[in-house]
Structure formats: C-alpha cells, structure tokens
C-alpha cells in the first residue's frame, strides 16, 4: 500500500498529512507549531483518532521534519519509511515559471529558490524542507504544488498592473495571487456538491482566514483573484492591510522615518484587523468585544466591507454567478461574519438561511432552498489537492 506525505510548510509551522493512495484515505496528520521558539508544539492525530501533543523548546525546521518521520515509525503508523513513496510540497510562489505542479529536479529546486522575491517568507523555507525530505526519504518522488499556478493563465487584463509594460517584461511585475491550492479544491468540491461540471459554473470562492483571498472562476478557469504581486494585496486580513494607496505608503515612510522594508513589515504584520482594533487579529476576539470596544466593531465592519467590494466586482466581471463559497478558518467557522457578508449582497439575490448557517467547520449549503444563487461552506483540503498532484505526476 503506497503512502504519500503532504507537506504544508509556513514560516513558523509545519503541517502534514499522510495518505494511503490511490484510495485518498488519511492515515495520520499533524503539525509542528511555534518553530524556533520557546514552547514549540508537536501535534499528531493517529489512525485510531487519538491525539498526542508534545511541547519542546526551539524545535528547528530540520528537527521538525525528522520528528514527523521518526514519530510515524515510533507510533507504528509505518513500519519502514520506504512505505512513503511520494512527498508533495506546497510552494507559495511559482511565478510565471510554473503553470502547473512539477516533479522536483535540481533545476526545479533552483527555480523555486530564485523565486524567493515573490514570497520571501515562504519560498526559502519551503525549498529548505524539500532538501531535508530529499535527504530523509531519498527514494520517494517529490512534487512541488504551487499556490500561484492556478492564476498563471488568468486574462492579462486582470493580472497586469497599469504601470510601464517593460516592468512586466523585464521584472515579472504582475498579479500572481495566492491560496490557489485551496481555491482549486473548493471549486472542484463545490461542483461535486452541486452535481454539475465545473466547466458549467460561475463561482466566487472566499478563502477567509488569517490570510484572506477571493477568486472568481469562469467555467472552470480562474478569471480574477484579490491577492496581487504578493499576498499583501486584496481584502483586509488578520494583520495585513490589503489594498492601499502606494502614495500613502511613501507618505508614512517619510513621516515615520521608516525604510520601505520596515513599512512592508508594518503592512504585513501590524495592520488589518489587528491594526484597526488595536486588540487582536482574531475575529473571535473582536466579536466578543465589539459591543464594548468601538474599534473592534469597526475592524469587523471594515473586513465585511472589503469582502463585499470584491464579491460585487467579481459578480460584475463574471456577468452573474451561480454560487458563493466560504472556506478557511473564518469562512468555515464565522457564523456571524458569513451572515453579515451575505446580508450586504442581498441586492444580487444572495441570501443565507440563519438556521442552516448555525454551525462551524462543516460542509453545508446555507442558502435558502429557493435561493437563486447558492451559498456554500466547504472546508478546504489543500493536502488532498497536493497528494492528487503527486499521484497525477508520478504514476
């Protein structure tokens, strides 16, 4: 029985799932959180459903990868590491180089490293994990799955910026998007739920979490997406500003005596819900305090406002829509947030049944039975898309 490991590495986390293929059955899963920090956490869910949580200070990236494999053996999930025949790695930025997932070769790995400017927090660490798992599992076939590949062939009218064209030609300055693996899964799963081919549907998928992005699908093809050259652009997020006037950034840099890297850091890590609320980037914290703290309510209202703007513009781009789909942390669990967004889109015929919407983290159609536009909640499954691509490219 072949086993495939899906690796989803962030700047401070390592998430993983082990699948039996081609059955697509999850054997075990887990994550290492707070990497390189005091109180690093190793979590694993065993085949019998039992959960184990260990805490250890300063787990490094290399140690995290080794721990995943050694624990798989020590817990009896695999007898020999040779049972793992494939490893799929989520890579944030593929630029225009990678229009599809790719089997990892020395050339592919070099190209991933060279694309670091497009995702400086992610590509270097993800390339590092590729090298570590190549050493730990030398016989396994390794595949890179790019968040940006979904958007590589968007219409130029949507991916181009209105700046001198030579900056695109010489420097690759264009919209690349992000969260493509999540949006791809959600779009395909929505088509299955609705019982229609994806090629017959117009969809808008809302990946709303700490990082948030919105994608418009026109008959199976990505038409437009909210994130831009980097994941900083688009809607307001937990700590990211989303869209902002570039002149304001220059103004603030001058007034605050900040360098441009310092300003980008502020826009990435100190803005969004956190910056406005001056309390937390977590919507749950803001919902609990919105009645007592006007800034908490303002942050939530702004988030809804920005999402509604994008959805409305995408309905216009698509010339109508068949379904709106919520996913990711807030999208899957934010009962009040989903309702607030739908209420603002009621003019388009978008509505949510409050009784159907009263749940968290499950797959549901939440629009009224007679709703012209379907509204769904579909938990994302990036790891499943990753192992499917491993299967597709290595068999």
**Catalytic (active-site) positions:** 147
- Interatomic CA distance for residues 68 and 14, integer angstroms: 9
Residues flagged as binding site = 8, 15, 90, 207-211, 282-284, 382
Indicate the DSSP class of residue 313: H
| C-alpha separations of 27 from 46, 79, 86, 127 in Å | 7, 13, 14, 25
- Interatomic CA distance for residues 380 and 327, integer angstroms: 6
- Interatomic CA distance for residues 146 and 141, integer angstroms: 16
Write the DSSP string, 154-182. Answer: S-HHHH--SS-HHHHHHH--S---S-HHH
CB 205 within 8 A of CB 186: yes
Tell me the Cα Rg of the chain: 21
- Interatomic CA distance for residues 121 and 193, integer angstroms: 35
Residues flagged as binding site for substrate = 90
Indicate the DSSP class of residue 204: E
> Sign of the CA dihedral 154, 155, 161, 163?
positive
Which strands form 14-21's sheet, in the order they lie side by side?
51-56, 40-45, 25-33, 14-21, 2-9, 84-91, 141-146, 102-103
């Amino acid at each position: 029985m072949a086993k495939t490991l899906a690796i989803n590495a962030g700047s401070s986390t390592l998430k993983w799932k082990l699948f039996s293929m081609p059955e697509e059955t999850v054997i075990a899963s887990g994550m290492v959180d707070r990497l390189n920090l005091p109180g690093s956490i190793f979590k694993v869910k065993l085949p019998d459903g039992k959960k184990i949580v260990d805490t250890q200070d300063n787990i490094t990236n290399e140690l995290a990868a080794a721990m995943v494999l050694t624990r798989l053996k020590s817990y009896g999930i695999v007898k020999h590491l040779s049972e793992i025949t494939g490893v799929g790695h989520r890579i944030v930025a593929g630029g225009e180089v990678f229009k599809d997932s790719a089997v990892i070769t020395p050339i592919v790995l070099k190209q991933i490293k060279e694309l670091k400017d497009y995702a400086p927090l992610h590509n270097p660490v993800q390339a590092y994990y590729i090298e570590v798992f190549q050493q730990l599992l030398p016989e396994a076939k390794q595949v890179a799955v790019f968040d940006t590949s979904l958007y590589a062939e968007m219409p130029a009218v949507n991916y181009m910026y209105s700046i001198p064209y030579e900056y695109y030609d010489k420097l690759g300055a264009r919209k690349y998007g992000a969260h493509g693996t999540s949006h791809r899964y959600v779009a395909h799963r929505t088509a299955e739920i609705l019982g229609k081919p994806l090629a017959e549907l117009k969809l808008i998928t809302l990946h709303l979490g700490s990082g948030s992005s919105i994608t418009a699908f026109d008959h199976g093809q990505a038409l437009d997406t909210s994130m831009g050259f980097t994941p900083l652009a688009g809607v307001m997020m937990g700590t990211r500003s989303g869209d902002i006037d570039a002149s304001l950034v220059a103004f603030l840099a001058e007034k605050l005596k900040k360098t441009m890297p310092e300003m980008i850091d502020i826009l990435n890590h100190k803005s969004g819900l956190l910056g406005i609320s001056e309390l937390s980037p977590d919507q749950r914290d803001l919902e609990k305090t919105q009645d007592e703290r006007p800034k908490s309510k303002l942050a939530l209202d702004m988030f809804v406002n920005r999402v509604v703007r994008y959805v409305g513009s995408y309905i216009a781009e698509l010339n109508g829509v068949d379904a709106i789909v919520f996913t990711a942390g807030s999208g899957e669990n934010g009962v009040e947030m989903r309702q607030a967004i739908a209420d603002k889109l009621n003019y388009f015929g978008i509505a949510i049944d409050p009784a159907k919407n009263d749940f968290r983290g499950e797959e549901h159609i939440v629009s009224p039975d007679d709703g012209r536009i379907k509204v769904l909640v579909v938990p994302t499954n990036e790891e499943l898309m990753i192992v499917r691509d491993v299967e597709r490219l290595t068999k």
